[in-house]
Amino acid sequence: MNLYVKQYDWIRLTREELFQYCESMTIEDYTYELDQFGWGSIRNLHVHVAACYQSWLANFGLKRPTC
């Protein structure tokens, strides 16, 4: 199997797990800001992961550099 296909399958699976977990949270918990947490809140981390995913797709999937 193509390496990119394997990577995408793994990313898709982990992303689905994250979505399912986040759906079980209250909005207050999802957006709660903690200084000790890498991106402040789970929502902010989720936005960061989405931006990384878009960048990966642009760079490797579409061969369009984002910088």
Model confidence pLDDT, tens digit, residues 17-51? 988 999 999 999 999 999 888 889 999 988 998 88
Whether the model clears a pTM of 0.85, i.e. scores above it, the answer is no
pLDDT in the model for residue 20:
92
Residue spans of the domains in the chain: they are 3-61
Contacts of 32 (CB under 8 A, 6+ apart): 41, 42
3-state DSSP of 9-64:
HHHHHHHHHHHHHHHCCCHHHHHCCCCCCCCCCHHHHHHHHHHHHHHHHHHHHCCC
